[in-house]
Amino acid sequence: MGFQEKLKTGSFVVTTEVGPPRGISLEKTLQEIAPLKGRVDAVNVTDLQSSCLRMSALAAALFVRDKGFEPILQMTCRDRNRLALQADLLASAALGLNNILVLTGDHPVLGDHPEAKPVFDLDAVQLMETVRLLNAGEDLGGHKLVGQAPRLFPGAVVNPGADPLEPEIIKMEKKAQAGARFFQTQAIFDVGLFEKFLAAVKHLRVPVLAGIVLLKSEKMALHLNAHVPGIHVPDRLVAQVRDARDKKATAVDISARLIRDLKGMAAGVHLMPIGWHSVLPCLLDNINS
């Protein structure tokens, strides 16, 4: 059963992500996810993540699919105008890469080419609406497409820990109204907070995959709390990673417990290993045991 089918049937979904290389060889990238074959439902392929130069996500997604994974192609508004975005959406549909994750994208000033000029011709809601129009056989200029229309399956992102939360819910509602078929969230460490968020958005009836980040260290936990809006790592977890003798085992234990608690709430989880792909098989063993 594929990613879309599992979401539609209410099965618990597990996705993860991988970043294309800073070069032309995907050997290391594909080796990172190879142990996950048959164990995750889809793999996000990031689009110039953190505004740093990488291989095209569209090209990398083809290699990921060739290795037996179902890709979710991330597409940001940062680097392309509406013509280029529509062109890439049509290309992805023609190639059978129908899962799309719509993102605004980080500003180039935050990346490794700070002198790059941002585009942001469309925002994430407008790009979602663009996907809806293309699926209906029409482009943003009001022109009919020639031949078969795409069958894109778009998703979006949401931050359940945003403070204040109301503007984030309003954006989520707009994305859902524009056609979002699923949401992936920012990292979740507070299950109670996530439960309240789900109660506030239950009227949308769109599957939500809770983001799971492996906590590598106390330094990482404190950095998330201080510098990443909407993320709160509780003090007890900060203390747990600080006192851990085996950092990887502790990270797995924390994430596995979070996932077990989330299973009755979320439609699934999105695993963000941040370089620790090798730990994911152990995590999957723990949540399935």
- The total of structural domains in the chain comes to 1
Question: Would the pLDDT of 125 be above 70?
Answer: yes
198 or 289, higher pLDDT: 198
Question: Would the pLDDT of 289 be above 70?
Answer: no
Q: How many CB atoms lie within 10 A of CB 114?
A: 10
Over residues 174-186, the pLDDT tens digits come to: 999 999 999 999 9
CA distance 177 to 188: 24
pLDDT at 102 (0 to 100): 98
Question: Would the pLDDT of 241 be above 80?
Answer: yes
Instruction: Please report whether residue 91 resides in a domain.
Output: yes
Question: Would the pLDDT of 259 be above 80?
Answer: yes
Instruction: Please report whether residue 88 resides in a domain.
Output: yes
pLDDT at 288 (0 to 100): 75
268: enclosing H helix or E strand: strand 268-272
Share of the chain above pLDDT 70, in %: 100
Q: What residues make up the domain containing 40?
A: 3-158
Instruction: Please report whether residue 102 resides in a domain.
Output: yes
pLDDT at 230 (0 to 100): 87
Question: Would the pLDDT of 167 be above 90?
Answer: yes
Contact 132, 100 (CB under 8 A): no
Instruction: Please report whether residue 64 resides in a domain.
Output: yes
Q: How far, in Å, are 73, 160, 177, 181, 244 from residue 132 at the CA level?
A: 16, 25, 10, 11, 48
Among 106, 104, 117, 102, smallest CA distance to 50 is for 106
Residue 103's DSSP bridge partners are: 76
**84-105 exposure pattern, b = at least 16 Cβ within 10 A, e = fewer:** ebbebbbebbeeebbbbbbbbb
pLDDT at 77 (0 to 100): 97
Over residues 214-238, the pLDDT tens digits come to: 999 999 999 999 988 889 999 999 9
Q: Assign 287 a pLDDT band (cuts: 50, 70, 90).
A: confident
What integer is the mean pLDDT of 62-78?
A: 98
Letter for the amino acid at 263? Answer: K
Instruction: Please report whether residue 85 resides in a domain.
Output: yes
Question: Would the pLDDT of 115 be above 90?
Answer: yes
Instruction: Please report whether residue 40 resides in a domain.
Output: yes
Question: Would the pLDDT of 52 be above 90?
Answer: yes
Instruction: Please report whether residue 179 resides in a domain.
Output: no
Residue showing tokens 């029409």:
138
Instruction: Please report whether residue 30 resides in a domain.
Output: yes
Question: Would the pLDDT of 164 be above 80?
Answer: yes
Average model confidence (pLDDT) for the chain? 95
Among 239, 275, 241, 242, smallest CA distance to 255 is for 241
DSSP one-letter string for 96-164: T--EEEEE----GGGSS-TTSPP--SS-HHHHHHHHHHHHTTB-TTSPBPSSSPP--EEEEEE-TT-SS
